[in-house]
Amino acid sequence: MQTMYGESGEGWIANVEEFMVILEERLHLTYGEPFSLSYNFVVPVRIDHERDAVLKIGYPNNDFSNEFHALQEFQGKGMVEVLDFNKEEGWILLDRLSPGFSLHSIEDEEEVLHIFTRVAQRLWHKPVTSHSYPTVHSWSEGIGRLRERFNGGSGPIPEELVFKAETLFPELLNTSTELFLLHGDLHHGNILYSESSSWTAIDPKGLIGEREYDCIQFMLNEWKKWDAPIELLRYRIQTVASLLSLSYERLIRYGFCHSVLSACWSVEDGMEGWMTGVSVARLFEELVNELD
């Protein structure tokens, strides 16, 4: 928060500590140890000493608003249950998934892919509210902001990767067909197991775009565990395309573009994660070249 928002971030941190005392009394909460996360404040709680839940307090910006609306719209579609909320105050009370282990805990890649596709298939649907979610097109503008930051250059990100993404992204967006409400961050860590509701999604961003795009964040995870990451990517893309009847070619091209975009975001936020984005973009670039 301090890195991204400066004094405003520091103020938010101080207010959260005070606000927790208010919510503790108002909602009859008992706090546990906070989860180790890097953005929102998320802590396990017990309500009236009876029900386990999770309290999430978010920075008051469009991202939190989008997540709030996405959680509402995904209810009953494989998304964690919302118990209570206050959008103006910036908090959401969610069901605590138990035992709550994530998709990271499953070793067999075939099983992981089948779980991922089942969860994704339940979530995706045409948007039914008037909320103005971000689009893949608006996300893609992050590459342009990189150019502005470096006076037309590409900063630490290789120029040829940025140029290729600038060319390929518009081609994909201009040929998009059916658009859906997507999770926006559907990776291993955001799919948890619950004894009561099986595999369940958490932490949606809310995004409008093609279904292929919602598979990319999953592809970017756990890729180092194979000796030949390119083979893992190829296997994942082939399997997901087959199980969900998606375009193999668009999965690869979106994968390349989003990897570059992810690197741009990291530079924008002052983080070092851009190097991972570049590494994965190189892998996707190899697969893109196989299509030509």
pTM: 0.91
> What is the number of other CB atoms lying within 10 angstroms of the CB of residue 86?
12
Which superfamily is assigned to 101-291 in CATH? Aminoglycoside phosphotransferase (APH), C-terminal lobe (3.90.1200.10)
As annotated, the residues of the chain forming the CATH 3.90.1200.10 domain(s) are: 101-291
Block means of pLDDT (10 residues each) for the chain, length 292 residues?
82 88 94 82 92 90 88 95 90 94 94 98 92 96 95 95 97 95 96 94 96 95 83 95 98 98 91 88 96 83
Question: Would you say 22 and 62 are in contact if contact means Cβ atoms under 8 Å apart?
Answer: no
- Edge-to-edge strand ranges of the sheet holding 99-102: 99-102, 191-194, 198-201
- Give span(s): CATH 3.30.200.20, the chain: 2-96
Q: Are 180 and 125 in contact (CB under 8 A)?
A: yes
Greatest Cα pair distance in the chain: 62
Per-residue model confidence as pLDDT tens digits over 112-127: 999 999 999 999 999 8
For domain 2-96, which CATH number applies: 3.30.200.20, 1.10.238.10, 3.10.20.30, 3.30.720.210?
Answer: 3.30.200.20
Q: Residue 133 CB: number of other CB atoms within 10 A?
A: 21
* Alpha carbon distances (Å) from 202 to 81, 154, 253: 9, 34, 26
